[in-house]
């Protein structure tokens, strides 16, 4: 029987324990979408597996300029960004930690002010989402998208592949493809959003095609053992309406990816950052479609995490808010120590306040 504190080999990732820092958007990259020294400090504080995470998943990182949907999120598509990320991976590895980059394209969850040339964001559909994003000057309604032409889609798949290769160049241990939370890949997966009539729309096989092509391209470039996937089968995040048959959709999607031998699959259970029971979904049945390491996320307490690993319900547990407020969350979980409180006001944007100044246990008791 394994515990939360035992090592795990997940694909090519040799992890010291099962405690994962979830991907967390913090909007603190430098101009040019470049990772900086403050970000390096933040990740380094959480990198030592003895006190922090067994695995860090970075904040969502755009694969191309069109993939950006919020102010000051980092990118991974040019040399300057690679250099910025390399300082972070080196610092994390110096602590004995492991780190993968979460690669995303936001699709229609964007604003013209963030798009190259002020163009419309792209999606599976031309129908806008009802939602807000964060741009220079504050929150704004997302812009009306343009539906991608069939012949443009291979180019986006190629951007995922190139970004994954840059991730390896930057020293990452692997990549996690963000197919959750209403962003581009989910805009293809769900029939509540995807209204295409080409080979990327209609049947489940067609709606999972974009995901499948992205995963095949990335795994083909860097190896399946360094490639992971995040799904959120029933989240309503970013105006992602429910699919007409999420169980069949997501089970089919995973079954089709089985040959790739992925490092892990990461599932947001319920509404991202919210209710775990928002809609019925059989996560155990989903897991039966995939033989490798299984990561769960969404509102896990210490006891829930201990139980889910001990019972074999999951191999890895990702913690979001708790890792923002507790750089030494791993130690606190081990010692059953109290947790710092999260400050909501400093989540998105700003500097060190609410980012790198949450105290570790030693500091608290000193």
Catalytic residues: 183
Phi-psi sector, 302: left (phi>0), alpha (psi -120 to 50), beta: alpha
CB closer to ligand 8OZ out of 181 and 194 = 181
Q: Taking the complex as a whole, how short is the minimal distance between the CB of residue 28 and ligand 8OZ, in angstroms?
A: 12
Give the β-pairing of 132-135 and 138-141. Answer: antiparallel
CB closer to ligand 8OZ out of 4 and 60 = 60
Q: Taking the complex as a whole, how short is the minimal distance between the CB of residue 14 and ligand 8OZ, in angstroms?
A: 26
CB closer to ligand 8OZ out of 51 and 272 = 272
Q: Taking the complex as a whole, how short is the minimal distance between the CB of residue 109 and ligand 8OZ, in angstroms?
A: 8
CB closer to ligand 8OZ out of 109 and 309 = 109
CB closer to ligand 8OZ out of 132 and 146 = 132
Q: Taking the complex as a whole, how short is the minimal distance between the CB of residue 310 and ligand 8OZ, in angstroms?
A: 28
Distance in angstroms (rounded) separating the CA atoms of residues 210 and 45: 36
Q: Taking the complex as a whole, how short is the minimal distance between the CB of residue 345 and ligand 8OZ, in angstroms?
A: 14
User: Is there a contact between 32 and 79 (Cβ–Cβ < 8 Å)?
Assistant: no
Q: Taking the complex as a whole, how short is the minimal distance between the CB of residue 25 and ligand 8OZ, in angstroms?
A: 4
CB closer to ligand 8OZ out of 111 and 332 = 111
Per-residue H/E/C for 37-73: HHHHHHHHHCCCCCCCCCEEEEEEEECCHHHCCCCCC
Q: Taking the complex as a whole, how short is the minimal distance between the CB of residue 60 and ligand 8OZ, in angstroms?
A: 4
Total length of the chain? 366
- Contact residues toward ligand 8OZ (CB under 6 A) are 25, 60, 70, 181, 237, 272
Q: Pick from 26, 89, 54: which is nearest to 356 by CA? A: 26
CB closer to ligand 8OZ out of 49 and 182 = 182
């Amino acid at each position: 029987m394994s515990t939360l504190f035992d090592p795990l080999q997940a694909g090519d990732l040799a992890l010291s324990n099962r405690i994962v820092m979830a991907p967390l958007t913090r909007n603190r990259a430098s101009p040019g979408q470049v990772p900086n020294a403050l970000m390096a400090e933040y990740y380094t504080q959480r990198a030592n597996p003895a006190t922090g995470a067994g695995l860090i998943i970075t904040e969502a990182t755009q694969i191309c300029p069109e993939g950006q949907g919020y102010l000051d999120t980092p990118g991974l598509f040019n040399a300057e960004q690679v250099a910025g990320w390399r300082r972070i991976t080196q610092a994390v590895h110096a602590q004995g930690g492991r780190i993968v980059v979460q690669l995303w394209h936001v699709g229609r969850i964007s604003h013209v002010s963030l798009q190259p040339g002020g163009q419309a964001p792209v999606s599976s559909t031309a129908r806008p989402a009802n939602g807000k994003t964060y741009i220079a000057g504050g929150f704004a309604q997302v812009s009306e998208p343009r539906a991608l032409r069939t012949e443009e889609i291979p180019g986006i798949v190629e951007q995922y592949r190139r970004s994954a290769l840059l991730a390896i160049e930057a020293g990452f241990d692997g990549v996690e493809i963000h197919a959750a939370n209403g962003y581009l890949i989910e805009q293809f997966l769900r029939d509540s959003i995807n209204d295409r009539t080409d080979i990327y729309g209609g049947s489940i096989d067609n709606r999972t095609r974009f995901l499948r092509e992205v995963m095949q391209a990335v795994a083909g470039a860097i190896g399946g053992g360094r490639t992971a996937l995040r799904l959120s089968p029933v989240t309503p995040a970013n105006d992602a309406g429910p699919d007409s048959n999420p169980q069949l959709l997501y089970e089919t999607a995973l079954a089709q990816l089985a040959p790739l031998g992925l490092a892990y699959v990461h599932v947001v259970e319920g509404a991202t950052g919210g209710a775990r029971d928002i809609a019925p979904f059989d996560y155990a049945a989903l897991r039966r479609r995939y033989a490798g390491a299984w990561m769960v996320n969404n509102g896990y307490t210490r006891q829930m995490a201990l139980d889910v690993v001990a019972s074999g319900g999951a191999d890895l547990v990702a913690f979001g808010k708790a890792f923002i407020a507790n750089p030494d969350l791993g130690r606190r979980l081990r010692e059953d120590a109290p947790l710092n409180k999260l400050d909501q006001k400093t989540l998105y944007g700003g500097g060190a306040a609410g980012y790198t100044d949450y105290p570790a246990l030693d500091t608290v008791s000193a």
